[in-house]
Amino acid sequence: MVVHIKYFASLRDRLGRAEDRLDAVGEVTVAGVWAALWPETPLPPNTLTAVNMEYAGPEQSVRDGDEVAFFPPVTGG
Amino acid sequence: MKVELRASPFGPLLELGCYQAGLDQRLPGQYGAMAIFIGTMRDFNEGEAVRGMTLEHYPGMTERHLQRIVEAAFQEWPLLDALVLHRIGALRPNDPIVLVAVWSAHRAAAFAACQFIMEELKSKAPFWKREETADGPRWVEHNTPG
């Protein structure tokens, strides 16, 4: 299955890219997506995650075609 | 109800006047209270001068969550209407960042809903501020408590 990944703001700057794509086999969670793409880099503390534009926890499972986003705390308003 | 992102500077009072003129036609004589919050860009933050700012968002998710926050306010209080405008893109000091306006029959609902929308927006709507300082750009890591 294919998972589309987006990074925003300071996290994107740190990682040096805005998007990724993961071809995964079998069940994968949000945390698993990060671990597969960034095996050397632990997910920075306070990072927020979303699946298909809804906030999601690290253990939420991801399905084929889903969009997973990683971003720092929000600072609007 | 109107929720919009704006990529260029807007005049909150002008927007409010135009919107309320429409409201007066749709709901004549019904509202007795309007509460507004306008957030404006400062030229300082955390002890440093700030020359400009860029507001990034997550297209799609930001609009969805703003809409949901306003709908939650309508569930909680007897509101007649609401207007939320939020800037994205490049801002200068004094530029309005956000306008929240709510209309209701009585003041308690208007005050409470306006604050609720603002606090929810601050904690849930995916926006990120990057400030331009004399030492270069820096990301705002967290919002002020209030």
One-letter amino acid identity for A14? Answer: R
Helix (H) and strand (E) counts for chain B? Answer: 3, 10
Question: Closest Cα of chain A to B87: distance in Å?
Answer: 9
Quick check: A8 and A75 in contact, CB under 8 A? no
Tell me which residue of A28, A20, A13, A16 sits closest to A72, measured CA to CA. Answer: A13
Give the residue from chain B lying closest to A71, CA to CA. B126
Tell me which residue of B134, B50, B39, B127 sits closest to B92, measured CA to CA. Answer: B50
Question: Closest Cα of chain A to B60: distance in Å?
Answer: 7
Distance CA B108, CA A44 (A): 41
Each residue of A39-63: pLDDT tens digit?
Answer: 999 999 999 999 999 999 999 999 9
Q: Work out the pLDDT band at B122, boundaries 50, 70, 90.
A: very high
In this complex, the residue of B60, B64, B127 whose CB is nearest that of residue A74 is B127
Quick check: B48 and B133 in contact, CB under 8 A? yes
Measured CA distances, B93 to A72, B42, B56, B84 (Å): 24, 5, 17, 20
Distance CA A54, CA A63 (A): 14
Quick check: B106 and B32 in contact, CB under 8 A? yes
Quick check: A21 and A36 in contact, CB under 8 A? no
Interface contact A76-B142, CB threshold 8 A: no
Question: What is the ipTM metric for this complex?
Answer: 0.96
In this complex, the residue of B57, B64, B128 whose CB is nearest that of residue A72 is B128
pTM equals 0.95
Give the residue from chain B lying closest to A54, CA to CA. B61
- Catalogue all structural domains in chain B, each as residue range(s) with its CATH number: 2-21+32-139 (3.90.1170.40)
Each residue of A1-39: pLDDT tens digit?
Answer: 999 999 999 999 999 999 999 999 889 999 999 999 999
Answer with the residue of higher pLDDT: A26 or B71. B71
